[in-house]
Structure 1
Amino acid sequence: MSLRLYEGMSLREISEYLFVEDEPTPGDLILVFGGKRLERAERAAELYQAGLAPRIFITGGDKRGIGVCEAERLRDHLLQLGVPAEAIDIECDGLNTLEQVQYSVKRIEETIGWKNIKNVLVVSAPHHMRRVKRTLANYIPRETKITCCPDRRTDITRDNWWHTEEGKNLVYRELEKVRTYALRGEL
Protein backbone atom coordinates (compact mmCIF):
# COMPACT_ATOMS: atom_id res chain seq x y z
CA MET A 1 0.00 0.00 0.00
CA SER A 2 1.46 3.33 -0.98
CA LEU A 3 1.14 6.45 1.11
CA ARG A 4 -1.61 7.82 -1.13
CA LEU A 5 -4.82 8.51 0.70
CA TYR A 6 -7.76 7.00 -1.10
CA GLU A 7 -7.56 8.50 -4.56
CA GLY A 8 -8.23 5.80 -7.09
CA MET A 9 -9.13 3.20 -4.47
CA SER A 10 -12.45 1.44 -4.77
CA LEU A 11 -14.75 1.17 -1.77
CA ARG A 12 -13.86 -2.53 -1.59
CA GLU A 13 -10.11 -1.77 -1.59
CA ILE A 14 -10.54 0.76 1.22
CA SER A 15 -12.59 -1.76 3.20
CA GLU A 16 -10.07 -4.55 2.68
CA TYR A 17 -7.20 -2.28 3.72
CA LEU A 18 -8.68 -0.72 6.88
CA PHE A 19 -11.08 -3.35 8.20
CA VAL A 20 -8.68 -6.05 9.41
CA GLU A 21 -10.22 -9.02 11.20
CA ASP A 22 -8.67 -12.33 12.21
CA GLU A 23 -10.25 -15.53 13.44
CA PRO A 24 -9.97 -15.34 17.24
CA THR A 25 -7.52 -17.90 18.59
CA PRO A 26 -6.56 -18.56 22.20
CA GLY A 27 -4.26 -15.89 23.55
CA ASP A 28 -2.69 -14.57 26.70
CA LEU A 29 -4.26 -11.11 26.83
CA ILE A 30 -7.12 -9.08 25.37
CA LEU A 31 -5.99 -5.50 24.70
CA VAL A 32 -8.89 -3.06 24.31
CA PHE A 33 -8.34 0.40 22.84
CA GLY A 34 -10.43 3.17 24.38
CA GLY A 35 -13.34 4.80 22.64
CA LYS A 36 -16.72 6.24 23.44
CA ARG A 37 -18.70 3.21 22.24
CA LEU A 38 -19.34 0.30 24.56
CA GLU A 39 -19.25 -2.34 21.82
CA ARG A 40 -15.52 -2.64 22.50
CA ALA A 41 -16.18 -3.83 26.06
CA GLU A 42 -18.90 -6.17 24.79
CA ARG A 43 -16.50 -7.77 22.31
CA ALA A 44 -13.80 -8.12 24.99
CA ALA A 45 -16.32 -9.76 27.35
CA GLU A 46 -17.37 -12.15 24.58
CA LEU A 47 -13.74 -13.18 23.97
CA TYR A 48 -13.00 -13.48 27.69
CA GLN A 49 -16.14 -15.50 28.43
CA ALA A 50 -15.32 -17.81 25.51
CA GLY A 51 -12.07 -18.60 27.33
CA LEU A 52 -9.84 -17.08 24.65
CA ALA A 53 -7.66 -15.13 27.12
CA PRO A 54 -7.42 -14.93 30.93
CA ARG A 55 -6.87 -11.17 31.23
CA ILE A 56 -8.13 -7.91 29.74
CA PHE A 57 -6.10 -4.71 29.53
CA ILE A 58 -7.91 -1.48 28.58
CA THR A 59 -6.15 1.67 27.44
CA GLY A 60 -7.66 5.12 26.99
CA GLY A 61 -7.57 8.45 28.76
CA ASP A 62 -10.12 11.21 29.29
CA LYS A 63 -10.12 12.55 25.71
CA ARG A 64 -13.40 14.39 26.17
CA GLY A 65 -12.48 16.11 29.44
CA ILE A 66 -15.47 14.68 31.31
CA GLY A 67 -13.54 13.50 34.36
CA VAL A 68 -13.73 9.78 33.53
CA CYS A 69 -11.21 8.07 31.31
CA GLU A 70 -12.39 5.81 28.51
CA ALA A 71 -10.65 2.82 30.10
CA GLU A 72 -12.68 3.29 33.30
CA ARG A 73 -15.96 3.48 31.38
CA LEU A 74 -15.13 0.32 29.44
CA ARG A 75 -13.97 -1.46 32.63
CA ASP A 76 -17.23 -0.58 34.38
CA HIS A 77 -19.19 -2.01 31.45
CA LEU A 78 -17.09 -5.20 31.52
CA LEU A 79 -17.90 -5.57 35.22
CA GLN A 80 -21.62 -5.21 34.42
CA LEU A 81 -21.18 -7.93 31.79
CA GLY A 82 -19.81 -10.31 34.42
CA VAL A 83 -16.06 -10.08 33.86
CA PRO A 84 -14.34 -10.28 37.28
CA ALA A 85 -12.42 -7.20 38.42
CA GLU A 86 -9.25 -9.23 39.01
CA ALA A 87 -9.13 -10.08 35.28
CA ILE A 88 -9.08 -6.40 34.24
CA ASP A 89 -6.28 -3.84 34.24
CA ILE A 90 -6.42 -0.31 32.83
CA GLU A 91 -4.31 2.71 31.97
CA CYS A 92 -5.79 6.18 31.66
CA ASP A 93 -2.98 8.24 30.14
CA GLY A 94 -3.16 7.50 26.40
CA LEU A 95 -5.14 10.13 24.50
CA ASN A 96 -4.57 8.84 20.95
CA THR A 97 -3.66 5.54 19.32
CA LEU A 98 0.10 6.06 19.52
CA GLU A 99 -0.02 7.08 23.20
CA GLN A 100 -2.38 4.23 24.01
CA VAL A 101 0.08 1.79 22.44
CA GLN A 102 3.07 3.32 24.23
CA TYR A 103 1.46 3.49 27.68
CA SER A 104 -0.19 0.08 27.48
CA VAL A 105 2.95 -1.67 26.19
CA LYS A 106 4.96 -0.21 29.09
CA ARG A 107 2.32 -1.11 31.68
CA ILE A 108 1.88 -4.63 30.31
CA GLU A 109 5.65 -5.17 30.42
CA GLU A 110 5.67 -4.06 34.08
CA THR A 111 2.71 -6.23 35.14
CA ILE A 112 2.74 -9.32 32.91
CA GLY A 113 5.88 -9.12 30.80
CA TRP A 114 5.72 -9.36 27.01
CA LYS A 115 7.84 -12.52 27.14
CA ASN A 116 4.74 -14.17 28.65
CA ILE A 117 2.44 -13.08 25.84
CA LYS A 118 2.52 -15.21 22.70
CA ASN A 119 -0.77 -13.94 21.26
CA VAL A 120 -2.57 -10.68 22.07
CA LEU A 121 -6.19 -10.29 20.99
CA VAL A 122 -6.74 -6.65 20.07
CA VAL A 123 -10.18 -4.99 20.24
CA SER A 124 -11.07 -1.63 18.73
CA ALA A 125 -13.43 -0.16 16.14
CA PRO A 126 -13.50 -2.14 12.87
CA HIS A 127 -12.16 0.75 10.79
CA HIS A 128 -9.36 1.38 13.34
CA MET A 129 -7.83 -2.10 13.25
CA ARG A 130 -5.17 -1.53 10.55
CA ARG A 131 -3.62 1.42 12.39
CA VAL A 132 -3.83 -0.29 15.77
CA LYS A 133 -2.17 -3.46 14.48
CA ARG A 134 0.63 -1.71 12.63
CA THR A 135 1.36 0.74 15.45
CA LEU A 136 1.34 -1.99 18.11
CA ALA A 137 3.66 -4.16 16.00
CA ASN A 138 6.35 -1.46 16.30
CA TYR A 139 6.36 -1.67 20.11
CA ILE A 140 6.01 -5.33 21.05
CA PRO A 141 8.31 -8.31 20.44
CA ARG A 142 8.16 -9.55 16.84
CA GLU A 143 7.33 -13.06 18.00
CA THR A 144 4.11 -11.86 19.71
CA LYS A 145 1.15 -12.56 17.46
CA ILE A 146 -1.46 -9.79 17.08
CA THR A 147 -4.98 -11.10 16.50
CA CYS A 148 -7.44 -8.41 15.38
CA CYS A 149 -10.90 -8.82 16.94
CA PRO A 150 -12.91 -5.70 16.06
CA ASP A 151 -16.03 -4.80 17.97
CA ARG A 152 -19.33 -5.92 16.48
CA ARG A 153 -21.00 -2.61 15.71
CA THR A 154 -23.45 -2.85 12.84
CA ASP A 155 -23.80 0.76 11.71
CA ILE A 156 -20.24 1.15 10.35
CA THR A 157 -18.82 -2.06 8.89
CA ARG A 158 -16.60 -3.05 5.99
CA ASP A 159 -19.78 -3.64 3.95
CA ASN A 160 -21.79 -0.48 4.67
CA TRP A 161 -19.58 2.44 5.82
CA TRP A 162 -20.12 4.39 2.59
CA HIS A 163 -23.91 4.46 3.06
CA THR A 164 -23.85 7.24 5.68
CA GLU A 165 -22.03 10.54 6.05
CA GLU A 166 -20.84 9.47 9.51
CA GLY A 167 -19.38 6.27 8.08
CA LYS A 168 -17.66 8.05 5.22
CA ASN A 169 -16.26 10.70 7.55
CA LEU A 170 -14.89 8.12 10.00
CA VAL A 171 -13.29 5.98 7.30
CA TYR A 172 -11.77 8.85 5.32
CA ARG A 173 -10.47 10.40 8.55
CA GLU A 174 -8.95 7.05 9.47
CA LEU A 175 -7.20 6.85 6.09
CA GLU A 176 -5.74 10.29 6.77
CA LYS A 177 -4.52 9.13 10.18
CA VAL A 178 -2.93 6.01 8.70
CA ARG A 179 -1.13 8.20 6.19
CA THR A 180 0.04 10.60 8.93
CA TYR A 181 1.29 7.75 11.13
CA ALA A 182 3.12 6.23 8.14
CA LEU A 183 4.78 9.52 7.23
CA ARG A 184 5.96 9.93 10.83
CA GLY A 185 7.33 6.38 10.86
CA GLU A 186 4.86 5.16 13.47
CA LEU A 187 3.45 2.31 11.39
Structure 2
Amino acid sequence: MAMFRRKDKPEVSPYQTRERGWETWARGGQEKETGGKGREPAAPDRRPIEPERGGTLGGGAVRWIFFLLFLVYFAVSYLHAPILRQVGAFLVAEEAPSPSDLIVCLMGAPVERGLAAAEVYRSGLAPKVFVAREALPDGWDSLARRRIHYPESRDLLIMMLEALGVPRSSIVTSDRFVGSTYEEALAVKDFVKRAGHKSIIVITSPVHTRRAGLTYRKVFEGEGVEVAVTGSAYSGFRPEDWWIRERYLQDVVIEYLKLVYYWFRYL
Protein backbone atom coordinates (compact mmCIF):
# COMPACT_ATOMS: atom_id res chain seq x y z
CA MET A 1 0.00 0.00 0.00
CA ALA A 2 2.92 2.24 0.41
CA MET A 3 3.41 2.48 -3.36
CA PHE A 4 -0.04 4.02 -3.80
CA ARG A 5 0.50 6.63 -1.07
CA ARG A 6 -0.62 10.11 -2.24
CA LYS A 7 2.07 12.65 -2.24
CA ASP A 8 1.08 15.73 -0.33
CA LYS A 9 1.29 19.10 -2.14
CA PRO A 10 4.32 20.92 -0.89
CA GLU A 11 3.54 23.93 1.17
CA VAL A 12 4.44 27.37 -0.24
CA SER A 13 5.70 29.92 2.18
CA PRO A 14 4.52 33.57 2.04
CA TYR A 15 8.03 34.58 1.09
CA GLN A 16 7.91 32.28 -1.98
CA THR A 17 4.49 33.67 -2.93
CA ARG A 18 5.79 37.22 -2.93
CA GLU A 19 8.87 36.14 -4.87
CA ARG A 20 6.78 34.51 -7.59
CA GLY A 21 4.61 37.63 -7.76
CA TRP A 22 7.66 39.79 -8.38
CA GLU A 23 8.81 37.40 -11.11
CA THR A 24 5.43 37.60 -12.82
CA TRP A 25 5.51 41.43 -12.66
CA ALA A 26 9.09 41.46 -14.05
CA ARG A 27 8.11 39.22 -16.99
CA GLY A 28 5.21 41.52 -17.76
CA GLY A 29 7.56 44.53 -17.85
CA GLN A 30 9.96 42.71 -20.17
CA GLU A 31 7.12 41.86 -22.53
CA LYS A 32 6.17 45.54 -22.70
CA GLU A 33 9.75 46.57 -23.43
CA THR A 34 10.22 43.90 -26.12
CA GLY A 35 6.89 44.70 -27.75
CA GLY A 36 5.14 41.68 -26.32
CA LYS A 37 7.16 39.11 -28.30
CA GLY A 38 5.99 35.61 -27.75
CA ARG A 39 2.42 36.74 -27.09
CA GLU A 40 -0.39 37.48 -29.47
CA PRO A 41 -1.16 41.21 -29.76
CA ALA A 42 -4.37 42.40 -28.25
CA ALA A 43 -7.20 43.19 -30.65
CA PRO A 44 -7.58 46.93 -31.32
CA ASP A 45 -10.36 48.78 -29.60
CA ARG A 46 -12.88 49.60 -32.34
CA ARG A 47 -15.35 51.42 -30.18
CA PRO A 48 -16.29 54.90 -31.51
CA ILE A 49 -14.55 57.81 -29.84
CA GLU A 50 -17.06 60.06 -28.12
CA PRO A 51 -16.30 63.67 -27.17
CA GLU A 52 -16.04 64.51 -23.54
CA ARG A 53 -19.32 65.88 -22.33
CA GLY A 54 -17.65 68.43 -20.11
CA GLY A 55 -16.29 70.47 -23.11
CA THR A 56 -19.63 71.11 -24.85
CA LEU A 57 -21.62 74.32 -24.46
CA GLY A 58 -24.94 74.14 -22.80
CA GLY A 59 -28.10 75.51 -24.36
CA GLY A 60 -28.03 78.53 -22.06
CA ALA A 61 -24.52 79.53 -23.12
CA VAL A 62 -25.43 79.27 -26.81
CA ARG A 63 -28.46 81.50 -26.28
CA TRP A 64 -26.29 84.11 -24.55
CA ILE A 65 -23.80 84.08 -27.43
CA PHE A 66 -26.57 84.67 -29.98
CA PHE A 67 -28.01 87.43 -27.81
CA LEU A 68 -24.65 89.22 -27.63
CA LEU A 69 -24.18 88.87 -31.38
CA PHE A 70 -27.60 90.41 -31.88
CA LEU A 71 -26.68 93.36 -29.67
CA VAL A 72 -23.48 93.94 -31.65
CA TYR A 73 -25.40 93.77 -34.93
CA PHE A 74 -28.01 96.19 -33.62
CA ALA A 75 -25.36 98.64 -32.41
CA VAL A 76 -23.47 98.55 -35.70
CA SER A 77 -26.59 98.78 -37.87
CA TYR A 78 -28.66 101.36 -36.03
CA LEU A 79 -26.43 103.17 -33.56
CA HIS A 80 -23.20 103.65 -35.55
CA ALA A 81 -24.24 107.03 -36.94
CA PRO A 82 -24.96 108.69 -33.54
CA ILE A 83 -21.79 107.22 -32.06
CA LEU A 84 -19.61 108.30 -34.98
CA ARG A 85 -21.14 111.78 -34.90
CA GLN A 86 -20.07 112.13 -31.29
CA VAL A 87 -16.59 110.86 -32.16
CA GLY A 88 -16.21 113.56 -34.81
CA ALA A 89 -17.86 116.31 -32.77
CA PHE A 90 -15.47 115.78 -29.85
CA LEU A 91 -12.52 116.90 -31.98
CA VAL A 92 -14.19 120.19 -32.89
CA ALA A 93 -13.70 122.75 -30.11
CA GLU A 94 -13.78 126.21 -31.66
CA GLU A 95 -14.96 129.65 -30.69
CA ALA A 96 -15.99 132.75 -32.55
CA PRO A 97 -13.05 135.13 -33.12
CA SER A 98 -13.03 138.54 -31.50
CA PRO A 99 -10.79 141.58 -32.09
CA SER A 100 -7.19 140.55 -31.38
CA ASP A 101 -3.61 141.60 -31.97
CA LEU A 102 -2.60 138.78 -34.32
CA ILE A 103 -4.00 136.09 -36.61
CA VAL A 104 -2.04 132.83 -36.60
CA CYS A 105 -2.56 130.73 -39.73
CA LEU A 106 -1.38 127.22 -38.86
CA MET A 107 0.53 125.15 -41.38
CA GLY A 108 -0.58 121.73 -42.56
CA ALA A 109 -3.60 122.56 -44.72
CA PRO A 110 -2.61 125.91 -46.24
CA VAL A 111 -5.49 126.36 -48.69
CA GLU A 112 -8.46 126.00 -46.34
CA ARG A 113 -6.65 127.74 -43.47
CA GLY A 114 -5.26 130.51 -45.67
CA LEU A 115 -8.72 131.28 -47.03
CA ALA A 116 -10.09 131.58 -43.50
CA ALA A 117 -7.15 133.69 -42.29
CA ALA A 118 -7.58 136.14 -45.17
CA GLU A 119 -11.29 136.38 -44.44
CA VAL A 120 -10.69 137.13 -40.76
CA TYR A 121 -8.10 139.75 -41.73
CA ARG A 122 -10.44 141.47 -44.18
CA SER A 123 -13.12 141.59 -41.48
CA GLY A 124 -10.78 143.82 -39.45
CA LEU A 125 -10.44 141.55 -36.42
CA ALA A 126 -6.61 141.75 -36.41
CA PRO A 127 -3.98 143.83 -38.24
CA LYS A 128 -1.37 141.08 -38.79
CA VAL A 129 -1.21 137.48 -40.00
CA PHE A 130 1.55 135.19 -38.73
CA VAL A 131 2.84 132.37 -40.94
CA ALA A 132 5.31 129.84 -39.53
CA ARG A 133 8.10 128.19 -41.49
CA GLU A 134 7.33 124.53 -41.93
CA ALA A 135 10.15 121.98 -41.85
CA LEU A 136 11.58 121.26 -45.29
CA PRO A 137 10.56 117.96 -46.93
CA ASP A 138 12.98 115.09 -47.36
CA GLY A 139 15.14 115.49 -50.45
CA TRP A 140 14.93 119.28 -50.47
CA ASP A 141 18.70 119.64 -50.02
CA SER A 142 19.30 117.42 -53.05
CA LEU A 143 17.23 119.77 -55.16
CA ALA A 144 19.13 122.76 -53.78
CA ARG A 145 22.49 121.21 -54.71
CA ARG A 146 21.20 120.78 -58.25
CA ARG A 147 20.04 124.41 -58.25
CA ILE A 148 16.42 123.38 -58.63
CA HIS A 149 14.08 125.82 -56.91
CA TYR A 150 11.31 124.20 -54.93
CA PRO A 151 9.13 126.75 -53.10
CA GLU A 152 8.58 126.31 -49.39
CA SER A 153 5.05 125.87 -48.11
CA ARG A 154 5.43 129.14 -46.23
CA ASP A 155 6.20 131.01 -49.47
CA LEU A 156 3.18 129.49 -51.21
CA LEU A 157 0.90 130.47 -48.32
CA ILE A 158 2.23 134.03 -48.33
CA MET A 159 1.62 134.29 -52.08
CA MET A 160 -1.94 133.05 -51.62
CA LEU A 161 -2.63 135.48 -48.76
CA GLU A 162 -1.42 138.37 -50.90
CA ALA A 163 -3.68 137.26 -53.74
CA LEU A 164 -6.59 137.15 -51.29
CA GLY A 165 -6.09 140.78 -50.28
CA VAL A 166 -3.64 140.61 -47.38
CA PRO A 167 -0.78 143.11 -47.96
CA ARG A 168 2.73 141.76 -47.67
CA SER A 169 3.41 144.31 -44.98
CA SER A 170 0.68 142.72 -42.85
CA ILE A 171 2.18 139.23 -43.09
CA VAL A 172 4.78 138.34 -40.47
CA THR A 173 6.82 135.16 -40.23
CA SER A 174 9.73 133.46 -38.52
CA ASP A 175 12.80 131.65 -39.82
CA ARG A 176 12.49 129.00 -37.13
CA PHE A 177 11.60 125.62 -38.63
CA VAL A 178 8.61 123.85 -37.08
CA GLY A 179 7.49 120.27 -37.58
CA SER A 180 4.48 119.91 -35.29
CA THR A 181 1.66 121.83 -33.67
CA TYR A 182 3.63 122.08 -30.44
CA GLU A 183 6.77 123.43 -32.14
CA GLU A 184 4.65 125.91 -34.06
CA ALA A 185 3.06 127.12 -30.82
CA LEU A 186 6.53 127.72 -29.35
CA ALA A 187 7.52 129.78 -32.40
CA VAL A 188 4.33 131.82 -32.11
CA LYS A 189 4.98 132.38 -28.42
CA ASP A 190 8.45 133.78 -29.11
CA PHE A 191 7.07 136.19 -31.70
CA VAL A 192 4.14 137.27 -29.52
CA LYS A 193 6.40 138.00 -26.55
CA ARG A 194 8.77 140.10 -28.66
CA ALA A 195 5.89 142.01 -30.23
CA GLY A 196 4.08 142.51 -26.91
CA HIS A 197 0.78 141.10 -28.17
CA LYS A 198 -1.93 140.18 -25.68
CA SER A 199 -4.41 138.25 -27.83
CA ILE A 200 -4.27 135.94 -30.84
CA ILE A 201 -6.69 134.17 -33.19
CA VAL A 202 -5.53 130.70 -34.20
CA ILE A 203 -6.91 129.52 -37.56
CA THR A 204 -6.82 125.79 -38.26
CA SER A 205 -8.94 122.92 -39.60
CA PRO A 206 -12.07 121.99 -37.59
CA VAL A 207 -10.80 118.47 -36.89
CA HIS A 208 -7.63 120.00 -35.42
CA THR A 209 -9.24 122.64 -33.19
CA ARG A 210 -9.36 120.67 -29.93
CA ARG A 211 -5.72 119.62 -29.99
CA ALA A 212 -4.60 123.04 -31.21
CA GLY A 213 -6.56 124.78 -28.46
CA LEU A 214 -5.16 122.52 -25.74
CA THR A 215 -1.62 122.97 -27.05
CA TYR A 216 -1.68 126.77 -27.41
CA ARG A 217 -3.31 127.32 -24.05
CA LYS A 218 -0.70 125.12 -22.44
CA VAL A 219 2.17 126.93 -24.16
CA PHE A 220 0.77 130.38 -23.31
CA GLU A 221 -0.17 129.43 -19.76
CA GLY A 222 0.77 132.24 -17.38
CA GLU A 223 1.76 134.63 -20.21
CA GLY A 224 -1.34 136.81 -20.03
CA VAL A 225 -2.24 136.16 -23.68
CA GLU A 226 -5.81 135.37 -24.74
CA VAL A 227 -6.06 132.51 -27.24
CA ALA A 228 -9.09 131.95 -29.48
CA VAL A 229 -9.10 128.93 -31.79
CA THR A 230 -11.46 128.79 -34.77
CA GLY A 231 -11.90 126.26 -37.54
CA SER A 232 -11.90 127.12 -41.21
CA ALA A 233 -15.32 127.17 -42.87
CA TYR A 234 -13.62 126.07 -46.09
CA SER A 235 -12.88 122.60 -44.74
CA GLY A 236 -14.99 119.72 -46.00
CA PHE A 237 -14.95 117.99 -42.63
CA ARG A 238 -18.38 117.61 -41.03
CA PRO A 239 -18.93 115.83 -37.70
CA GLU A 240 -22.26 114.43 -38.89
CA ASP A 241 -20.91 112.40 -41.82
CA TRP A 242 -17.10 112.42 -41.71
CA TRP A 243 -16.82 108.60 -41.93
CA ILE A 244 -18.23 108.35 -45.47
CA ARG A 245 -15.05 109.82 -47.00
CA GLU A 246 -11.70 108.07 -46.64
CA ARG A 247 -9.78 111.34 -46.30
CA TYR A 248 -11.64 112.46 -43.19
CA LEU A 249 -11.69 108.93 -41.83
CA GLN A 250 -7.90 109.02 -41.85
CA ASP A 251 -7.88 112.53 -40.37
CA VAL A 252 -10.03 111.49 -37.41
CA VAL A 253 -8.03 108.35 -36.65
CA ILE A 254 -4.71 110.22 -36.85
CA GLU A 255 -6.03 113.12 -34.80
CA TYR A 256 -7.12 110.85 -31.97
CA LEU A 257 -3.72 109.15 -31.97
CA LYS A 258 -1.97 112.53 -31.83
CA LEU A 259 -4.33 113.75 -29.14
CA VAL A 260 -3.41 110.80 -26.91
CA TYR A 261 0.29 111.36 -27.64
CA TYR A 262 0.06 115.08 -26.84
CA TRP A 263 -1.85 114.37 -23.64
CA PHE A 264 1.00 112.30 -22.26
CA ARG A 265 3.85 114.30 -23.82
CA TYR A 266 2.94 117.98 -23.62
CA LEU A 267 -0.39 118.62 -21.92
TM-score tier by shorter-chain length is 0.7 to 0.9
Of residues 60-69 and 124-133 in structure 1, the stretch that sits farther from structure 2 once superposed is 60-69
If asked which structure has higher relative contact order (CA below 8 Å, sep 6+), I would say 1
Answering whether residue 120 of structure 2 is matched by residue 40 of structure 1, we say no
Q: What corresponds to 2:96 in structure 1? A: 23
Find the counterpart in structure 2 of residue 77 from structure 1: 160
Segments of structure 2 that go 5 or more residues without pairing to the other structure are 1-81, 141-149
TM superposition shift of 1:75: 1.3
- Pick aligned residue for 2:237 from 123, 137, 156: 156
- 1:178 corresponds to 2:259: yes
- In structure 2, the partner of 1:86 is 169
Q: Which residue is equivalent to 2:206? A: 126
User: Relative to total residues, which structure has the larger helix share, 1 or 2?
Assistant: 2
Q: Aligned partner of 2:163: which letter?
A: Q
SS at match of 2:252: helix
Tell me, yes or no, if the aligned pair for 1:71 and 1:91 is still in contact at 8 Å.
no
Rounded to whole Å, the distance in 2 between the matches of 1:132 and 1:170 is 14
The residue type paired with residue 40 of structure 1 is: R
Measured in 2, the distance between the counterparts of 1:64 and 1:151 equals 25
Give the 3 Å change call, closer, same or farther, for CA 138–68 of structure 1 in structure 2: farther
Contact 2:91 2:207 in 1 (8 A): yes
How many residues align? The count is: 174
Give 1 or 2 for the bigger CA radius of gyration: 2
Contact 1:32/1:122 (CA < 8 Å) preserved in 2? yes
Q: Work out whether residues 72 and 90 of structure 1, in 8 Å CA contact, stay in contact via their aligned partners in 2.
A: no
Letter aligned with residue 12 of structure 1? R
The letter of the residue matching 1:134 is L
User: Structure 1 residue 68 and structure 2 residue 141: aligned?
Assistant: no
| Aligned residue type for 1:121 | I
Matched-pair identity in %: 26
The answer (yes or no) to whether the contact 2:200–2:228 under 8 Å persists in 1 is yes
In the other structure, the counterpart of 1:135 is 215
Counterpart residue type for residue 108 of structure 1: V
Mapped to 2, the partners of 1:83 and 1:34 lie a distance apart of 17
Q: CA deviation at 1:144?
A: 2.4
Distance 1:52 1:64, change over 3 A: same
1:27–1:53 contact (8 Å) kept in structure 2: yes
2:125 to 25, 33, 52: 52
Q: How does 1:95-134 map to 2 (within 5 A)?
A: 95-110=179-194, 112-113=195-196, 116-117=197-198, 119-134=199-214
